[in-house]
């Protein structure tokens, strides 16, 4: 397939002969660059005071924090930001989950699943734009590699984490330099630096977290300056998907004794695990078995689990949920042994109840659409989608969970 060709050739082919051009009525619309800084905890900018981000937030709009959706994991929350739907409604309920109807497992490192649009519900921002005659572009964002409703951004790239941040910024600025018929008005951009550092070292490591943020800040400064130099009405929104806490090796909960393959399967993602009953298995018997083994975790029937809103529950959520105590993490015995022998560094983790402040993300916005020097209270990340639709003049779907009135007060006159 094309994605296996040399990177330079892929870049050329993905940019050549775009299928979409802006309809004339979209030419005068503003521009939005939605930047995700994965793992950028709500308090990092105040702690480490990176100069470009500080100036960006002080001159624009900054929320005290942005509250992630449960679980506070990367794929569910990026796709919530992109669709305005809670994870149980858009279908990406975790980084790893099982779909009983498809009889298939979704994992974020499974390229076939990630690029299969039939896993994804909702109408992502780039799909909304393209369906309404507006060119969209994505330099990495969850869902942007898949043909959702048969639509991809006009410009996009398969995810490759080793791509230098400077290359990502250069490409965004090149998109903004295109002729107006081909110039994307909706752009997404993704950086993983803070998540990488947080997992490796833990958020309490001042030296490594601070260094990572200052390096990312330099690249963001290049983007801010470059976007301003275009003279276009470019609005930049910076978000993250979750926060991070330290998890020590002695806080790991062994899941091996919980396995019962004849009765159920477990999809484990650390801060929670989904339990899917096999056909004919007795749910109450499985519940009692797991209940008897509770040790720094709790087992819930899905209908009793407090952090989901869908009714009836999405089958992808499972029949039972295992939830570790805050600060504990579910691991199999192999990973636990590696951590305790020092062969696997257990630093920071996330995925926990987003009501815990350490799980909170960021929301910053700057540009001609926004008020200046405004600080607002915390809000849930489902509300970013209708805000961007309002700025770009795109229709806001009736069935989303987000509400435009939550953030419309941050827009200028």
What percentage of the chain carries pLDDT values higher than 70?
A: 94
For residue 115, what are the CA distances in angstroms to 4, 75, 88, 135, 370?
14, 13, 20, 20, 34
Q: Is 188 a catalytic site residue?
A: no
Of 302, 275, 203, nearest to 246 by C-alpha is 203
What percentage of the chain carries pLDDT values higher than 90?
A: 88
**Vertex 107 angle, CA 101 and 111, to 5°:** 105
**Given this model, what pLDDT does residue 34 score?**
98
**Given this model, what pLDDT does residue 268 score?**
85
Of 271, 269, 220, nearest to 243 by C-alpha is 271
Catalytic residue among 74, 80, 154, 255: 74
CATH of 29-91+108-246+354-410, one of 3.20.20.370, 3.40.720.10, 3.20.20.150, 3.40.366.30: 3.40.720.10
Residue 10 has pLDDT above 70, yes or no: no
User: Is residue 179 packed enough to be buried (19+ CB in 10 Å), middle (13-18) or exposed (0-12)?
Assistant: exposed
Provide DSSP, 111-178: HHHHT-GGG--S--HHHHHHHTT--EEEES-TTTTS-BTTB--SEE----TTS-HHHHHHHHHHHHTS
Highest mean pLDDT among 11-20, 50-59, 332-341 belongs to: 50-59
**In this predicted model, what pLDDT tens digit does every residue of 91-143 receive, in sequence order?**
999 999 999 999 999 999 999 999 999 999 999 999 999 999 999 999 999 99
Tell me the pLDDT band of 19, cut-offs 50, 70 and 90.
low
| φ, ψ of residue 116 in degrees (nearest 5) | -95, 105
Mean pLDDT along residues 291-295: 96
**Given this model, what pLDDT does residue 335 score?**
81
Q: Partners of 235 in the beta sheet?
A: 32
Residue 7 has pLDDT above 60, yes or no: no
Tell me the pLDDT band of 383, cut-offs 50, 70 and 90.
very high
Mean pLDDT along residues 372-387: 98
Model confidence, pTM:
0.94
Tell me the pLDDT band of 269, cut-offs 50, 70 and 90.
confident
**Given this model, what pLDDT does residue 148 score?**
98
Residue 181 and residue 175: Cα distance in Å, rounded?
A: 11
Query: Domain spanning 249-346 has what CATH number?
Result: 3.30.1360.180
Domain extents in the chain: 29-91+108-246+354-410, 249-346
Mean pLDDT along residues 248-269: 91
**Given this model, what pLDDT does residue 312 score?**
85
Residue 356 and residue 155: Cα distance in Å, rounded?
A: 37
More confident residue, 45 or 17: 45
**Given this model, what pLDDT does residue 337 score?**
82
Tell me the pLDDT band of 8, cut-offs 50, 70 and 90.
very low
Residue 346 has pLDDT above 70, yes or no: no
Mean pLDDT along residues 182-190: 98
Residue 11 has pLDDT above 60, yes or no: no
């Amino acid at each position: 397939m094309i994605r296996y060709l040399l990177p330079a050739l892929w870049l050329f082919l993905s940019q050549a002969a775009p299928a979409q051009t802006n309809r004339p009525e979209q030419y005068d619309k503003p521009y939005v660059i939605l930047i995700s800084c994965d793992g950028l905890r709500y308090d990092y900018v105040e702690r480490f005071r990176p100069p470009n981000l500080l100036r960006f937030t002080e001159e624009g709009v900054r929320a005290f924090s942005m509250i992630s959706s449960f679980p506070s994991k990367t794929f569910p929350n990026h796709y919530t930001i992109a669709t305005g739907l809670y994870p149980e409604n858009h279908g990406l309920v975790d980084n790893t989950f099982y779909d009983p109807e498809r009889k298939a497992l979704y994992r974020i490192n499974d390229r076939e699943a990630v690029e299969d649009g039939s896993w994804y519900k909702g109408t992502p921002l780039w799909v909304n734009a393209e369906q309404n005659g507006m060119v969209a572009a994505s330099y990495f964002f969850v869902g942007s590699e898949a043909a959702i409703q048969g639509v991809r951004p006009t410009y996009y790239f398969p995810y490759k984490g080793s791509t230098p941040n400077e290359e990502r910024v250069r490409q965004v600025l090149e998109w903004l330099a295109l002729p107006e018929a081909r110039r994307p008005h909706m752009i997404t951009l993704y950086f993983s630096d803070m998540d990488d550092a947080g997992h490796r070292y833990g958020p309490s490591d001042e030296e490594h977290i601070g260094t990572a943020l200052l390096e990312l800040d330099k690249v963001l400064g290049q983007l801010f300056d470059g976007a301003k130099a275009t003279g276009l009405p470019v609005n930049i929104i910076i978000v993250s998907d979750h926060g991070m806490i330290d998890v020590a090796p002695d806080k790991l909960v062994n899941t091996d004794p919980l396995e019962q393959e004849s009765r159920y399967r477990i999809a484990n993602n650390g801060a929670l695990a989904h339990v899917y009953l096999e056909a004919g298995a007795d749910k109450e018997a499985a519940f009692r078995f797991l209940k008897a083994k509770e040790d720094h975790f709790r087992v819930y029937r899905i209908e009793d689990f407090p952090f989901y809103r869908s009714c009836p529950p999405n089958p992808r959520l499972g029949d039972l949920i295992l939830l570790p105590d805050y600060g504990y993490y579910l691991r199999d015995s192999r990973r636990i042994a590696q951590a305790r022998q020092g062969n696997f560094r257990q630093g920071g983790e996330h995925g926990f109840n987003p009501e815990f402040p350490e799980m909170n993300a960021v929301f910053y916005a700057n540009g001609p659409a926004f008020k200046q020097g405004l600080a607002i209270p915390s809000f849930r990340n489902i509300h970013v989608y209708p805000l961007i639709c309002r700025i770009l003049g795109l229709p806001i779907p009736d069935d989303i969970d987000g509400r435009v009135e939550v953030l419309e007060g941050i827009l200028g006159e």
